DNA sequence: TTGACATGCTTGAAGCTTAAAACATCTCCT
DNA sequence: AGGAGATGTTTTAAGCTTCAAGCATGTCAA
């Protein structure tokens, strides 16, 4: 059924449009990018910092990706690498004070943008969409389990 | 409200998960990528071919992006560049016979994968999700119009 | 305890993506 | 006709992303 295909294309284009708008605003107002913002956001929720592996799992990207991202953000003074106390293989990443300040500003703007972008939907519509996306994720997890089996 | 943020994060992660799965399968089974597939798909729907600009609009990516993509696919013999008859600035891109054959195979598999990935949702759920995503896109278009004004 | 395998990170090569600048051609007004 | 501005493509530099390979460290079983 082409119905499934249309659903997927619409899901993809909706996400792409929102992402493009957020990227544009992050660049225009903060001269930063979505991956950088996402990395700061992950660290902001983790006062103890995160290992690079934990970051890459949360961001759903590869380890090598996080290595490069962290290196650039470190050069800008927004995050700091420090050896993990327990595991000498691991590197723990945390926000610097400057990084925390930058993220606080970006985060507030980002939340307002997202609210604005979904403003055309009623509360009930947003709730229904949230629920259905949850169902879609369940559907996906079913697939991945089968693959692993 | 953090509710909007959660909705956005769920929308993003759902899309990312599906995209990752499709990428993985395109690579494993056809040794290709999603952008290549998307470009072939755009051309497949256009028997007369498309200018690079038309392709970039359909794919929602920049012109420069399409230039590179087209160059690689041309090197692989799947698409052909030819000057546009009406406009000497424009380059018209079309599938070669080999490109059409490759896309036919990939397309059939892709449609089946998408069907599989959404199999956990009922028809009613898929219809509702499709409708709500349409509403979300309306919401976005409202924003963009305001910006342009 | 030591060797085999797992895990955490980095590196390198390739490809994807963008923004901005450059260039060619087109359109349209005067 | 001429010129101003729009449009179509390419190029460049920078960053993002993946995969695969490599190195360091950890774990666990014989």
Instruction: Dump pLDDT digits (tens) for B39-55.
Output: 999 999 999 999 999 99
Nucleotide nearest to B36 (CA to C1'): C16
Q: How far apart are CA B2 and CA A114, in angstroms?
A: 10
Rounded to whole angstroms, the distance from the CA of residue B67 to the C1' of nucleotide C19 is: 15
Q: How far apart are CA B144 and CA B149, in angstroms?
A: 9
pLDDT surpasses 80 at B143: no
pLDDT surpasses 50 at B38: yes
Q: What percent of chain B has pLDDT over 90?
A: 90
Q: Give B97-102's long-range contacts (Cβ < 8 A, gap of 24+).
A: B99/B40, B99/B43, B99/B73, B100/B44, B102/B30, B102/B32, B102/B40, B102/B78
Closest-CA distance of chain B to residue A112, Å:
9
Read off the pLDDT band of B57 (50, 70, 90).
very high
The verdict on residue B144 lying in a domain is no
Average of per-residue pLDDT across B13-17: 94
Residue of higher predicted confidence among A147 and B100: B100
Residues A18 and A47 in one domain: yes
A111, A120, A135: residue with CB nearest B121? A135
Question: What pLDDT score was predicted for residue A148?
Answer: 53
The verdict on residue B30 lying in a domain is no
Residues A81 and A133 in one domain: no
Average of per-residue pLDDT across A7-20: 95
The verdict on residue B58 lying in a domain is yes
Q: How far apart are CA A81 and CA A96, in angstroms?
A: 10
Q: How far apart are CA B3 and CA A114, in angstroms?
A: 10
Average of per-residue pLDDT across A11-23: 94
Cα B19–A36–A92 angle (5° rounding)? 100
Residues A71 and A12 in one domain: yes
Residue of higher predicted confidence among A29 and A148: A29
pLDDT surpasses 50 at A149: no
Average of per-residue pLDDT across A94-119: 96
- Work out if B137's Cβ lies within 7 angstroms of strand D: no
Q: What is the CATH number for B103? A: 1.10.10.10
Residues A76 and A109 in one domain: yes
Residues A133 and A62 in one domain: no
Q: How far apart are CA B128 and CA B136, in angstroms?
A: 12
Judge: A60–B16 Cβ closer than 8 Å, yes or no: yes
Residues A84 and A147 in one domain: no
DSSP A5-56: HHHHHHHHHHHHHHHHHHHHHHHHHHS--HHHHHHHHHHHT-TT-EEHHHHH
Residues A133 and A96 in one domain: no
Question: What pLDDT score was predicted for residue A8?
Answer: 96
Closest residue in B to A2 (Cα–Cα): B111
Question: What pLDDT score was predicted for residue A147?
Answer: 58
The verdict on residue B76 lying in a domain is yes
Average of per-residue pLDDT across B62-85: 96
The verdict on residue B29 lying in a domain is no
The verdict on residue B123 lying in a domain is no
Question: What pLDDT score was predicted for residue B149?
Answer: 47
- For residue A24, what are the β-bridge partners? none
Question: What pLDDT score was predicted for residue B147?
Answer: 59
Cβ-Cβ contacts under 8 Å for A83 (sequence gap 6 or more) = A90, A91, A92
Q: How many domains does chain A have?
A: 2
Q: How far apart are CA A23 and CA B63, in angstroms?
A: 18
Closest-CA distance of chain B to residue A85, Å:
32
Phi, psi of A31 (to 5 degrees): 50, 45
The verdict on residue B11 lying in a domain is no
B1, B12, B136: residue with CB nearest A129? B136
Residues A40 and A105 in one domain: yes
Judge residue A23's burial from the number of C-beta atoms within 10 Å of its C-beta, 0-12 exposed, 13-18 middle, 19 or more buried: middle
Nearest to A11 by CA among B109, B89, B4, B12: B12
Mutate to test the interface with B, among A29, A122, A139, A147 (most CBs of B within 10 A): A139
Judge: B4–A115 Cβ closer than 8 Å, yes or no: yes
B138, A121 contact by CB (below 8 A):
no
Full domain range(s) for residue A126: 122-149
Average of per-residue pLDDT across B119-132: 97
Q: How far apart are CA A33 and CA A130, in angstroms?
A: 26
Question: What pLDDT score was predicted for residue B111?
Answer: 96
Residues A65 and A135 in one domain: no
CB atoms within 10 A of CB B4: 20
Closest-CA distance of chain B to residue A31, Å:
19
Average of per-residue pLDDT across A90-115: 97
Residues A23 and A61 in one domain: yes
Residues A31 and A97 in one domain: yes
**Residue given tokens 């470009």 in the structure block:** B39
Residues A79 and A97 in one domain: yes
Judge: A14–B60 Cβ closer than 8 Å, yes or no: no
Rounded to whole angstroms, the distance from the CA of residue A85 to the C1' of nucleotide D21 is: 27
Mutate to test the interface with B, among A4, A114, A138, A141 (most CBs of B within 10 A): A4
């Amino acid at each position: 059924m082409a119905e499934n295909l249309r659903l997927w294309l619409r899901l993809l284009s909706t996400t792409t449009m929102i992402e493009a708008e957020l990227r544009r605003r992050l660049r225009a107002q903060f001269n930063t990018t979505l991956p950088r913002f996402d990395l700061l956001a992950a660290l902001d929720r983790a006062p103890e910092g995160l290992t690079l592996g934990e970051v890459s799992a949360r961001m759903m990207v590869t380890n090598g990706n996080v290595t490069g991202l962290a290196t650039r953000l470190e050069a800008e003074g927004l995050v700091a690498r420090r050896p993990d106390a327990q595991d000498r293989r691991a590197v723990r990443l945390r926000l610097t004070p400057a990084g925390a300040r930058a993220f606080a500003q970006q985060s507030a703007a980002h939340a307002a943008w997202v609210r604005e972008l979904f403003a055309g939907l009623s509360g009930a519509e947003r709730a229904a969409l949230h629920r259905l996306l949850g169902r879609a994720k369940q559907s996906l997890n079913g697939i991945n389990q089968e693959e692993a089996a």
